[in-house]
Amino acid sequence: MFDKILIANRGEIACRVIRTARRMGIGTVAVYSDADRDALHVEMADEAVWVGEAPSAQSYLRTDRIVEACLATGAQAVHPGYGFLSENAQAARAFAAAGVVFIGPPIEAIAAMGDKITSKRIAAEAGVSTIPGHPDAVADADEAVEVARAVGYPVMIKATAGGGGKGMRIAHDDAECRDGFERATSEARSSFGDDRVFIERFIERPRHIEIQILADGHGNALYLGERECSLQRRHQKVIEEAPSPLLDEATRRAMGEQAVALARAVGYRSAGTVEFVADPNRNFYFLEMNTRLQVEHPVTELITGLDLVEQMIRVAAGEALALRQEEVRLRGWAMEARVYAEDPERGFLPSTGRLVRYRPPMEAPDVRIDTGVVEGGEVSMFYDPMIAKVITHGEDRDTALRRLQWALDELQIRGPAHNTAFLAALARHPRFARGDLGTDFIAQEFGDAFEPGLVPDDELRVLVAVAATVHARMDARDRRSGAASGVGHRAALRNDWVVVRGREARWTVRVQPDDGPWRAIVDGHSHEVLAVWRPGDQVFRGKVDDREVCVAVDRVGVGYRLSHAGYRVDLLVLSPRAAELHRLMPERRPPDLSRFVLSPMPGLLVRVSVAAGDTVKAGQELAVVEAMKMENVLRAPQDHVVKAVLAQPGASLAVDQPIVEFE
């Protein structure tokens, strides 16, 4: 066994590997860039080595510097995590040349499976079901259209070296095919240094299901069940679970055996994942093989009881697998939600900034949080915007889902925008609860943006009751302490309040305190409110009537912002007289910015497609902004004449920074 390993990664996965290595008694070395000097993975490791400036191309992708760090610290092996160098055959070759063990598969397997065209050919030869398509890279947009017509629309345009949703586009006609080819090749060139793309048939109503495999250097290979990864947005996984609600035992066995056959065909060793697309009738087809640890590996760990990082380390050290296929048992159900710094209300655009507050859910045996951040840390524009993964386990799917819902409500993040409310809404969607999934689920049910303010009446009444109870308790505390909580207050406890939302919505609430449950009567509807909450608490945990609720409570000015179950509402709790005066307050109107095209996110301005004096049509491309290696095209909302271009290509943009001004 190794004495010391280096983790050639950052963030959540670096911390994850360090935890297992520490449990195994193995010393750890972290690497870091300028942006990560104070990062959690640096603090957790036994040693840390600087490898370059903030951009990943100048640090985490610098194989030469990471090899030097291994040699300087005496690390015998390197774990690449996922992303960065994890599927880079040249990097694995460089480690081997330096005498450093690569904790991953053989170089030949990485190279063969890293090219999607080659991997499809090998899979077909190994007897694995494959999707109909064009086997070779297409040269230009004209050939892409020709191939797409031959394959039959809809088609998927995919980068041969792609992954993580980058370099992928779906096309339903010639126009979408041409545009998709340009976007896919550009993203592939930026992300992977390889702009080749190929085309295959897009399976209608698809489900994304993957098989986790393990193989050693002694001829043993097995599969550890499947993961359902169909809940995706723009080809990026959002919530994963294991096992899949779709599969039966026969399909699970068939997929697993095909995955193992492919692993044997390429002489695979280590942990890996074979991804399939399945239709509603359980017909399945090979997508690709990921020759690394997957982001969603914790759900497999929770249902098998295996530590996949430990298995990777043991295999890399030359050990044989300690179990056989018939000994693999799947226990219960697990779910994982990916918490990202992104703004669902602005089309899920990336967000950055300091984590003013980061409080994970309360510890519980069946709740696991994998993260690489701490409160006060910075979410950088240079790397993947993941903040944490919330993972839950239960004896069945309903239990695991219920625990996920509660954990998401308890998670507190303030600073950058984040997708926690969106995840909470997904986890409570009736269709998701039924297991009626598909890669188009989010597009169908939510579209391109998410509005947490659209609160149904029953949920809104619960939040009104919570807000009134919270405010009444704070008022009672102030009166007992003799503090003046507002002009005109008297010593007697106030019972009657008016809760106001915006300019029009208002509820009359009577709060009746008691030693046990309080009672909030909202417009004549009585609610029993029982909570473990004290003034100053940022989470209200308790019951409203017979329903358990967990509500985040933030002060916004003199009001409250309440977040629960994917909903968010801003409320004022006022005395009846203050509510009358509130009606008379003038309404502040936002400035008119309709003449400007604003950057919707922090990022790099890749291209400006117009100049001053140009006449543009609605939908015409104006500029392209890149963030987190994804290109975002900004288009004209309507016909305009360009007055001025306010930013030039190569500029680093702040959110809402003007790029183009119209006349």
Just list the catalytic residues: 288
Of 225, 649, 174, 247, give the one whose Cα is nearest residue 437. Answer: 247
CA proximity to 260, closest of 113, 123, 130, 160 = 123
Specify the 3-state DSSP secondary structure of 273. strand
List Cα–Cα distances, 634 to 257, 621, 631, in angstroms. Answer: 46, 6, 10
Classify the C-alpha dihedral 604-610-612-616 as positive or negative: negative
CA atoms within 13 A on the CB side of 127: 11
SS3 content of the chain, % helix, strand, coil (to 5): 30, 35, 35
Please provide the DSSP assignment of 298-327 as one string: HHHHHHH---HHHHHHHHHTTPPPS--GGG
Gap between the Cα atoms of 30 and 8, Å rounded: 7
* Identity at 663, one-letter amino acid code: E
Contact 259, 211 (CB under 8 A): yes
Write the CA distances from 111 to 92, 138, 317, 507, integer angstroms.
10, 20, 22, 64
Listed as own residue / partner, the contacts of 444-447 with beta carbons closer than 8 Å and 24 or more positions apart are 446/422
Q: Which residues contact 366 (CB under 8 A, 6 or more apart)?
A: 392, 393, 394, 400, 403
Question: What b/e string do you get for 282-320 counting C-beta neighbours within 10 Å, with b at 16 or more?
Answer: bebbbbbbbbbbbbbbbbbbbbbebbbbbbbbbbbbeee
Return the H-helix or E-strand segment holding 261. Answer: helix 249-265
What are residue 568's phi and psi, to 5 degrees? -145, 135
Contacts of residue 207, defined as CB under 8 A and 6 or more positions apart, other chains included, come to: 228, 230, 244, 246, 277, 278, 279, 280, 437, 438, 439
Output the six-digit token pair for 238: 């959002």
Which burial class, exposed, middle or buried, applies to 226 when counting CB atoms under 10 A from its CB (0-12, 13-18, 19+)?
buried
DSSP conformation class of 448: T
Q: How far, in Å, CA of 656 to CA of 596, rounded? A: 10
Among residues 594, 601, 658, which one has the least CA distance to residue 632?
601
Cα gap 348→352, rounded to integer Å: 13
Taking the alpha carbons at both ends of the chain, their separation in whole angstroms is 69
